[in-house]
């Protein structure tokens, strides 16, 4: 696995280089956002790890630029910001996952492997990944979502994966831990807000105020159901 790390903290880079070597991963390190973008464009990478705060071009802008150019490489954001609004921003710009500093290297390795595994499993098998429900048509080959025959724009990769998984299991209640394991692909590390952030963004993007497809089951988690209109407040 070739991983480009765009991180200006030398200590973090040294630590990651040690763990990459131990795991048999090939890590390359760049310490400037704009330089990292050019390095990304000039070579093929299996994954990018991007710090939020970078000289020349910050990590969020870099992630947004890559996704705007239809780049599909998996991206993990490293950030010292831990508020929900910051997490939403990073995910909305197209990051597949984020890790809050300070972080455990072992936990980061688990996230890297999970994102890589999920990306591999998401590669389409032509003609077999069309899912139709009462209101949705979801094409996993093209990663397009149609709601009432209208294309839903600007879904992030993880928002798409979460919606697709829920649509495959209508009315089934999932805990946050189950969703993290089955959609994100890693064991629960104490950041279940990731699920809440994605549900919140999906509700907004689907405009589901009158038809709340994602139902909160208090004390348990969430379920996906199209036939029930309920007050989620």
pLDDT 10s digits, 115-132: 888 777 655 444 457 888
34 and 72 together in one domain: yes
pLDDT value, residue 83: 60
Q: How far apart are CA 187 and CA 213, in angstroms?
A: 26
Mean pLDDT of 27-41: 94
pLDDT at 229 over 50: no
Helices vs strands, H then E, count in the chain: 8, 12
| Domain end (from 52, 87, 121) | 121
Instruction: Answer whether residue 81 is part of any domain.
Output: yes
pLDDT at 51 over 90: yes
pLDDT tens for 176-217 read 888 888 887 755 455 678 889 889 889 888 876 456 799 999
138 and 107 together in one domain: no
pLDDT band at 85 (very low <50, low <70, confident <90, very high): low
DSSP secondary structure letter of residue 128: S
Paired sense of beta strands 26-30 and 2-6, if any: parallel
114 and 137 together in one domain: no
| Domain end (from 97, 121, 145) | 121
Tokens of 150: 């209208």
25 and 91 together in one domain: yes
112 and 136 together in one domain: no
93 and 137 together in one domain: no
pLDDT value, residue 127: 45
Asked whether the CA dihedral 137, 140, 142, 144 is positive or negative, the reply is: positive
Paired sense of beta strands 130-132 and 136-139, if any: antiparallel
Q: What is the pTM of this model?
A: 0.59
Spell 26-52 as b/e; 16+ CB within 10 A means b: ebebbbebeebbebbeeeebbbbbbbb
Instruction: Answer whether residue 142 is part of any domain.
Output: yes
Q: How far apart are CA 3 and CA 116, in angstroms?
A: 11
56 and 89 together in one domain: yes
Q: Which of 8-22, 161-175, 180-194 has the lowest mean pLDDT?
A: 180-194
Give percent of the chain with pLDDT exceeding 90: 35
231 SS3 class: coil
pLDDT band at 12 (very low <50, low <70, confident <90, very high): very high
pLDDT value, residue 123: 54
Q: How far apart are CA 12 and CA 184, in angstroms?
A: 24
Instruction: Answer whether residue 231 is part of any domain.
Output: no
pLDDT at 56 over 60: yes
Higher-confidence residue: 55 or 229? 55
Give the chain's mean pLDDT.
84
Q: Which domain holds residue 70?
A: 2-121
| Domain end (from 121, 150, 176) | 121
73 and 178 together in one domain: no
């Amino acid at each position: 696995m070739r991983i480009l790390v765009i991180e200006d903290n030398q200590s973090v880079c040294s630590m990651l280089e040690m763990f990459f070597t131990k795991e048999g991963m090939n890590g390359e390190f760049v310490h400037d956002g704009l330089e990292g973008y050019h390095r990304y464009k000039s070579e093929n990478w299996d994954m990018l790890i991007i710090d939020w705060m970078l000289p020349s071009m910050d990590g969020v802008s870099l992630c947004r630029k890559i996704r705007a150019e239809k780049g599909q490489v998996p991206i993990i954001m490293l950030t010292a910001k831990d508020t929900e609004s910051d997490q939403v921003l990073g995910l909305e710009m197209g990051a597949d996952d984020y890790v809050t500093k300070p972080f455990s290297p072992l936990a980061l390795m688990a996230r890297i492997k999970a994102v890589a595994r999920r990306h591999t499993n998401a590669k389409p098998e032509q003609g077999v990944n069309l899912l139709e429900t009462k209101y949705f048509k979801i094409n996993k080959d093209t990663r397009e979502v149609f709601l009432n025959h209208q294309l839903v724009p600007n879904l992030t990769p993880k928002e798409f994966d979460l919606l697709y998984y829920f649509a495959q299991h209508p009315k089934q209640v999932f805990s946050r831990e189950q969703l993290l394991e089955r959609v994100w692909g890693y064991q629960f590390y104490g950041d279940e807000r990731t699920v809440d952030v994605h549900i919140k963004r999906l509700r907004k993007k689907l405009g589901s105020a009158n038809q709340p497809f994602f139902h909160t089951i208090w004390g348990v988690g969430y379920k996906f159901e199209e036939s029930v209109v309920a007050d989620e407040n």
